[in-house]
Amino acid sequence: MAKWTTANIPDQTGRVTVITGANTGLGYETALALAGHGAHVVLAVRNLDKGKDAAARIAATSPKGEVTLQELDLTSLESIRAAADQLRSGYDRIDLLINNAGVMWTSKSTTKDGFELQFGTNHLGHFALTGLLLDRLLPVAGSRVVTVSSIGHRIRADIHFDDLQWERRYNRVAAYGQAKLANLLFTYELQRRLAPHGTTIAAAAHPGGSSTELTRHLPGLLAPVYGLLEPLIAQDAATGALPQLRAATDPGVLGGQYYGPNGFAETRGHPKVVTSSAKSHDVDRQRRLWAVSEELTGVVYPID
């Protein structure tokens, strides 16, 4: 299927979908498309005012779907646990969890629990949320966990187990690379652990180059350069959301697959299965990161 679009999304009526960071950018476009195909979409957002505005806009154009809000701050394990408790109380099943929210190239800072901000938000926050919601996904045949990575998982990227929180040194690009590589290591290890259960799969996606708020933390010298290049390398958020939408809804998706744009250097285009770096497929890295993530978050998954 060379040009997969939102027209290819199957009917989502009756499916409960939780999307992190869904009030803007890729998350908003993903929620809009799924609600338009009948899904019950939960916008898991930090800013409830922005979330209410997003929910109203989606509801106005998607009469088939239903949109609700869930407060979620991925920089706080307390908030993640509270959100998971509320979601588990409100829904006896979750068909789809899309780990979409993220930050990129931030100056050195930490989450409320002391984790480096990019690693803590992009990986540890989603690791904890997924583990706390997994018992609502496991009983549902065809349920999925889709985690959004990035081309950045190849750029100066490794898992620095000797300094995961970048306390001895800090490079914002390398720290982003670590976080996005962690998203893929997590996806592949999660899929291996889910496979024996036969109900839920884990997949990943990346948007290529997309015009979203993610670039708001660009360093001062890079911002004007990116402004000149953006029309050449970036696509709009609706197109950038297609890979995660395909990973979330295409009946042919297999566990452990990774979707991205089909254009030059995967920067733009329609979604297809793409490859990730050799490091992302390193089983030792996957298992070690999983063990460390359980230790740091205190979240132990209810699967072997």
User: Is 200 inside any structural domain?
Assistant: yes
The structure tokens listed for 91 are 């829904």
From the CB of residue 93, how many other CB atoms can be counted at a distance below 10 Å? 13
CATH assignment at residue 41: 3.40.50.720
Residue-wise pLDDT tens digits, 78-92: 999 999 999 999 999
Helix (H) or strand (E) holding 187: helix 172-194
Give the 3-state secondary structure of residue 47.
coil
On whether residue 304 sits in a domain, the answer given is no
DSSP-derived secondary structure letter, 110? B
Q: Which two tokens stand for residue 85?
A: 């408790």
Residue-range definition of the domain harbouring residue 161: 6-297
In a domain, 302, yes or no: no
- Neighbouring C-alpha atoms within 13 Å toward the C-beta of 113: 20
Residue 210 lies in a domain: yes
Domains: count for the chain: 1
HSE-CB for 274 with a 13 A CA cutoff? 30
Q: Helices 242-249 and 25-36, interaxial angle, to 10°?
A: 40
Give, in order, the Cα–Cα distances in Å from 27 to each of 63, 148, 160: 19, 10, 29
pTM comes to 0.93
Residue 176: active-site member: yes
Which one from 28, 91, 170, 176 is the annotated catalytic residue?
A: 176
Query: Which of 80, 72, 14, 29 lies closest to 47 in space, CA to CA?
Result: 72
Cα–Cα distance, 254 to 202 (Å, whole number): 8
Confidence (pLDDT) at 226 = 42
Which SS3 state, helix, strand or coil, does residue 183 take?
A: helix
Residue 170 in any domain: the answer is: yes
Phi and psi for 296 in degrees, rounded to 5? -70, -40
pLDDT at residue 225, as a whole number = 43
Distance between CA atoms of residues 270 and 261, nearest Å: 5
Provide the pLDDT for residue 236. 93
Residue 1 lies in a domain: no
Positions in the chain short of pLDDT 50: 214, 221-230
Phi and psi, residue 247, nearest 5° = -60, -30
